[in-house]
Amino acid sequence: MTFLEMLCDVGRRNRSLLCIGLDPDPARIPAGARAAPDPIYTFCAAVIDATADLVCAFKPNSAFFEALGTTGMETLRRVIAAVPRDIPVILDAKRGDIGSTAAAYAHAAFEVLGAHAITLNPYLGGDALAPFLRYADKGCLLVCKTSNPGGAELQDLRLADGHPLYLEVARRAQTVWNERGNVGLIFGATHADVLPAVRAVCPDLPLLVPGVGAQGGDLTMAVLGAVDRRGERAIINASRSVLYAAEGTDFADAARREALRLREEINAALKPGA
Protein backbone atom coordinates (compact mmCIF):
# COMPACT_ATOMS: atom_id res chain seq x y z
CA MET A 1 0.00 0.00 0.00
CA THR A 2 1.34 3.43 -0.92
CA PHE A 3 1.63 6.37 1.46
CA LEU A 4 -1.33 8.12 -0.15
CA GLU A 5 -3.48 4.98 0.04
CA MET A 6 -2.58 4.57 3.72
CA LEU A 7 -3.32 8.23 4.42
CA CYS A 8 -6.77 8.11 2.83
CA ASP A 9 -7.62 4.72 4.33
CA VAL A 10 -6.82 5.64 7.93
CA GLY A 11 -8.32 9.10 7.48
CA ARG A 12 -11.65 7.59 6.51
CA ARG A 13 -11.53 4.96 9.23
CA ASN A 14 -10.65 7.43 11.98
CA ARG A 15 -12.74 10.24 10.47
CA SER A 16 -9.65 12.39 10.77
CA LEU A 17 -7.40 14.83 8.93
CA LEU A 18 -5.35 15.39 12.08
CA CYS A 19 -1.63 14.66 12.12
CA ILE A 20 0.22 14.82 15.43
CA GLY A 21 3.78 16.09 15.25
CA LEU A 22 6.18 14.38 17.62
CA ASP A 23 8.63 17.13 18.65
CA PRO A 24 9.96 15.89 22.01
CA ASP A 25 11.80 18.69 23.81
CA PRO A 26 13.71 17.14 26.77
CA ALA A 27 13.08 20.29 28.81
CA ARG A 28 9.32 19.83 28.46
CA ILE A 29 8.92 16.09 29.01
CA PRO A 30 6.10 15.67 31.56
CA ALA A 31 6.88 14.34 35.01
CA GLY A 32 5.08 11.10 34.22
CA ALA A 33 7.75 10.10 31.69
CA ARG A 34 10.95 11.58 33.11
CA ALA A 35 11.84 8.61 35.33
CA ALA A 36 11.76 6.09 32.47
CA PRO A 37 15.05 4.62 31.14
CA ASP A 38 14.34 6.36 27.80
CA PRO A 39 11.99 9.24 28.66
CA ILE A 40 11.73 10.51 25.07
CA TYR A 41 10.57 7.13 23.80
CA THR A 42 8.24 6.61 26.74
CA PHE A 43 6.69 10.04 26.20
CA CYS A 44 6.19 9.65 22.44
CA ALA A 45 4.95 6.06 22.69
CA ALA A 46 2.37 7.04 25.31
CA VAL A 47 1.06 9.88 23.14
CA ILE A 48 0.91 7.57 20.11
CA ASP A 49 -0.99 4.93 22.06
CA ALA A 50 -3.44 7.49 23.44
CA THR A 51 -4.25 9.14 20.10
CA ALA A 52 -3.81 6.52 17.36
CA ASP A 53 -7.55 6.22 16.74
CA LEU A 54 -7.90 10.00 16.27
CA VAL A 55 -5.28 10.73 13.59
CA CYS A 56 -4.50 10.25 9.92
CA ALA A 57 -0.71 10.32 10.49
CA PHE A 58 2.13 10.95 12.94
CA LYS A 59 5.03 13.26 12.11
CA PRO A 60 8.22 12.81 14.19
CA ASN A 61 10.65 15.70 13.78
CA SER A 62 14.11 14.30 13.15
CA ALA A 63 15.90 17.32 14.68
CA PHE A 64 14.64 16.63 18.19
CA PHE A 65 15.98 13.09 18.02
CA GLU A 66 19.28 13.99 16.38
CA ALA A 67 19.86 16.46 19.24
CA LEU A 68 19.88 13.53 21.68
CA GLY A 69 23.28 12.41 20.41
CA THR A 70 24.33 8.88 19.54
CA THR A 71 21.17 7.27 20.94
CA GLY A 72 18.79 9.67 19.25
CA MET A 73 18.39 7.90 15.93
CA GLU A 74 17.74 4.59 17.63
CA THR A 75 15.07 6.28 19.74
CA LEU A 76 13.58 7.71 16.54
CA ARG A 77 13.52 4.26 14.95
CA ARG A 78 11.78 2.84 18.02
CA VAL A 79 9.23 5.67 18.05
CA ILE A 80 8.40 5.06 14.38
CA ALA A 81 8.05 1.34 15.11
CA ALA A 82 5.64 2.16 17.96
CA VAL A 83 3.12 3.63 15.51
CA PRO A 84 0.47 1.06 14.44
CA ARG A 85 1.46 -0.40 11.08
CA ASP A 86 -1.61 0.91 9.27
CA ILE A 87 -0.97 4.56 10.22
CA PRO A 88 1.48 6.48 8.02
CA VAL A 89 4.56 8.09 9.56
CA ILE A 90 5.92 11.29 8.01
CA LEU A 91 9.57 11.91 8.87
CA ASP A 92 9.94 15.66 9.21
CA ALA A 93 13.54 16.17 8.11
CA LYS A 94 13.29 18.69 5.23
CA ARG A 95 16.22 17.06 3.48
CA GLY A 96 17.71 18.76 0.45
CA ASP A 97 20.98 17.64 -1.14
CA ILE A 98 22.29 16.12 -4.34
CA GLY A 99 23.58 12.85 -5.76
CA SER A 100 24.79 10.14 -3.43
CA THR A 101 24.06 12.28 -0.38
CA ALA A 102 20.35 12.49 -1.24
CA ALA A 103 20.33 8.75 -1.96
CA ALA A 104 21.81 8.07 1.47
CA TYR A 105 19.21 10.28 3.14
CA ALA A 106 16.44 8.43 1.28
CA HIS A 107 17.84 5.05 2.29
CA ALA A 108 18.03 6.15 5.93
CA ALA A 109 14.48 7.52 6.00
CA PHE A 110 12.68 4.73 4.19
CA GLU A 111 14.76 1.60 4.70
CA VAL A 112 16.53 2.12 8.02
CA LEU A 113 13.98 4.17 9.96
CA GLY A 114 10.90 2.79 8.21
CA ALA A 115 9.09 6.09 7.52
CA HIS A 116 6.27 6.13 4.96
CA ALA A 117 6.94 9.71 3.86
CA ILE A 118 9.49 12.47 4.29
CA THR A 119 9.52 16.25 4.09
CA LEU A 120 11.91 17.70 1.52
CA ASN A 121 13.32 21.05 0.46
CA PRO A 122 12.79 21.35 -3.33
CA TYR A 123 14.91 24.45 -3.86
CA LEU A 124 17.90 22.40 -5.09
CA GLY A 125 15.79 21.18 -8.01
CA GLY A 126 14.56 17.91 -9.42
CA ASP A 127 17.85 16.00 -9.35
CA ALA A 128 18.00 16.46 -5.56
CA LEU A 129 14.47 15.06 -5.25
CA ALA A 130 15.00 12.13 -7.62
CA PRO A 131 16.54 9.65 -5.12
CA PHE A 132 13.48 10.05 -2.89
CA LEU A 133 10.94 10.04 -5.71
CA ARG A 134 12.24 6.67 -6.91
CA TYR A 135 10.49 5.11 -3.91
CA ALA A 136 7.09 5.03 -5.60
CA ASP A 137 5.25 3.79 -2.52
CA LYS A 138 6.67 6.52 -0.26
CA GLY A 139 5.42 10.08 0.09
CA CYS A 140 7.62 13.08 -0.72
CA LEU A 141 6.19 16.25 0.82
CA LEU A 142 7.87 19.35 -0.56
CA VAL A 143 8.24 22.70 1.20
CA CYS A 144 6.06 25.16 -0.70
CA LYS A 145 5.27 28.05 1.66
CA THR A 146 6.27 28.06 5.32
CA SER A 147 4.83 29.68 8.43
CA ASN A 148 7.96 31.53 9.52
CA PRO A 149 8.08 35.26 8.57
CA GLY A 150 11.45 34.91 6.84
CA GLY A 151 10.08 32.37 4.40
CA ALA A 152 8.61 35.17 2.31
CA GLU A 153 12.10 36.43 1.42
CA LEU A 154 12.39 33.75 -1.27
CA GLN A 155 9.03 31.98 -1.44
CA ASP A 156 7.10 35.13 -2.34
CA LEU A 157 9.53 36.38 -4.99
CA ARG A 158 7.68 37.28 -8.19
CA LEU A 159 8.65 35.48 -11.36
CA ALA A 160 8.53 36.89 -14.86
CA ASP A 161 4.89 35.83 -15.23
CA GLY A 162 3.97 37.71 -12.06
CA HIS A 163 3.28 34.60 -9.98
CA PRO A 164 5.11 33.98 -6.69
CA LEU A 165 7.85 31.37 -6.56
CA TYR A 166 5.85 29.11 -4.23
CA LEU A 167 3.19 28.69 -6.93
CA GLU A 168 5.86 27.55 -9.37
CA VAL A 169 6.95 24.96 -6.80
CA ALA A 170 3.32 23.83 -6.63
CA ARG A 171 3.07 23.63 -10.41
CA ARG A 172 6.23 21.53 -10.71
CA ALA A 173 5.08 19.30 -7.86
CA GLN A 174 1.87 18.61 -9.76
CA THR A 175 3.50 18.01 -13.14
CA VAL A 176 7.27 17.66 -13.57
CA TRP A 177 8.11 15.90 -10.30
CA ASN A 178 5.02 13.73 -9.82
CA GLU A 179 5.62 10.99 -12.37
CA ARG A 180 5.06 8.27 -9.76
CA GLY A 181 2.13 9.96 -8.02
CA ASN A 182 3.98 10.24 -4.70
CA VAL A 183 4.46 14.01 -4.32
CA GLY A 184 2.72 16.34 -1.88
CA LEU A 185 3.28 19.85 -0.54
CA ILE A 186 3.83 21.61 2.78
CA PHE A 187 1.97 24.86 3.27
CA GLY A 188 1.85 26.81 6.52
CA ALA A 189 -1.55 27.45 8.09
CA THR A 190 -0.56 31.04 8.83
CA HIS A 191 -0.97 31.67 5.10
CA ALA A 192 -4.30 29.88 4.80
CA ASP A 193 -5.77 32.77 2.81
CA VAL A 194 -3.74 31.74 -0.25
CA LEU A 195 -4.11 27.98 0.21
CA PRO A 196 -7.03 27.78 -2.28
CA ALA A 197 -4.74 29.06 -5.04
CA VAL A 198 -2.29 26.24 -4.35
CA ARG A 199 -5.08 23.65 -4.17
CA ALA A 200 -6.32 24.89 -7.55
CA VAL A 201 -2.89 24.22 -9.06
CA CYS A 202 -2.62 20.83 -7.30
CA PRO A 203 -6.15 19.41 -7.10
CA ASP A 204 -5.12 15.90 -6.08
CA LEU A 205 -1.88 16.25 -4.11
CA PRO A 206 -1.79 15.68 -0.35
CA LEU A 207 -1.15 18.95 1.48
CA LEU A 208 0.60 18.92 4.86
CA VAL A 209 -0.49 22.01 6.77
CA PRO A 210 1.48 22.83 9.93
CA GLY A 211 0.94 25.97 11.96
CA VAL A 212 -2.43 25.45 13.66
CA GLY A 213 -2.47 25.31 17.43
CA ALA A 214 0.58 26.90 19.06
CA GLN A 215 1.56 28.80 15.89
CA GLY A 216 -1.83 30.46 15.64
CA GLY A 217 -2.95 29.52 12.12
CA ASP A 218 -6.69 29.75 11.43
CA LEU A 219 -7.83 26.13 11.58
CA THR A 220 -11.10 26.52 9.68
CA MET A 221 -9.48 28.47 6.84
CA ALA A 222 -6.63 25.96 6.70
CA VAL A 223 -8.97 22.98 6.48
CA LEU A 224 -11.26 24.47 3.84
CA GLY A 225 -8.32 25.65 1.77
CA ALA A 226 -6.37 22.41 1.95
CA VAL A 227 -8.92 19.66 1.32
CA ASP A 228 -9.53 18.30 -2.14
CA ARG A 229 -12.96 18.12 -3.77
CA ARG A 230 -13.81 15.04 -1.68
CA GLY A 231 -12.85 16.72 1.58
CA GLU A 232 -9.68 14.62 1.85
CA ARG A 233 -5.90 14.75 1.19
CA ALA A 234 -5.30 17.46 3.79
CA ILE A 235 -2.95 16.67 6.67
CA ILE A 236 -3.59 19.20 9.42
CA ASN A 237 -0.65 19.06 11.80
CA ALA A 238 -0.58 20.00 15.47
CA SER A 239 2.43 19.36 17.68
CA ARG A 240 3.03 21.32 20.86
CA SER A 241 -0.63 21.94 21.66
CA VAL A 242 -1.19 18.17 21.82
CA LEU A 243 2.14 16.96 23.20
CA TYR A 244 2.29 19.42 26.07
CA ALA A 245 -1.39 19.61 26.95
CA ALA A 246 -0.44 18.64 30.53
CA GLU A 247 2.76 18.48 32.57
CA GLY A 248 1.88 15.76 35.07
CA THR A 249 1.26 12.03 35.01
CA ASP A 250 -1.94 12.53 33.02
CA PHE A 251 -0.08 13.87 29.97
CA ALA A 252 -1.28 11.08 27.65
CA ASP A 253 -4.93 11.54 28.66
CA ALA A 254 -4.57 15.30 28.18
CA ALA A 255 -3.00 14.75 24.75
CA ARG A 256 -5.95 12.57 23.80
CA ARG A 257 -8.46 15.19 24.92
CA GLU A 258 -6.73 17.89 22.88
CA ALA A 259 -6.40 15.61 19.84
CA LEU A 260 -10.08 14.73 20.06
CA ARG A 261 -11.00 18.41 20.33
CA LEU A 262 -8.92 19.25 17.25
CA ARG A 263 -10.29 16.35 15.24
CA GLU A 264 -13.84 17.41 15.99
CA GLU A 265 -13.07 21.05 15.18
CA ILE A 266 -11.57 19.99 11.86
CA ASN A 267 -14.60 17.85 11.04
CA ALA A 268 -16.97 20.66 12.04
CA ALA A 269 -15.19 22.97 9.58
CA LEU A 270 -16.01 20.54 6.77
CA LYS A 271 -19.75 20.58 7.43
CA PRO A 272 -21.86 22.81 5.17
CA GLY A 273 -22.59 26.13 6.80
CA ALA A 274 -19.71 25.85 9.29
Catalytic residues: 94
3-state DSSP call for residue 34? Answer: helix
Tell me the sheet residues that pair with 145: 187
118 Cβ neighbours under 8 A, 6+ residues apart:
90, 91, 92, 93, 95, 106, 109, 110, 132, 138, 139, 140, 141
Q: How far is CA 15 from CA 29, 46, 191, in A?
A: 29, 21, 25
β pairing state of 207-209 and 18-22: unpaired
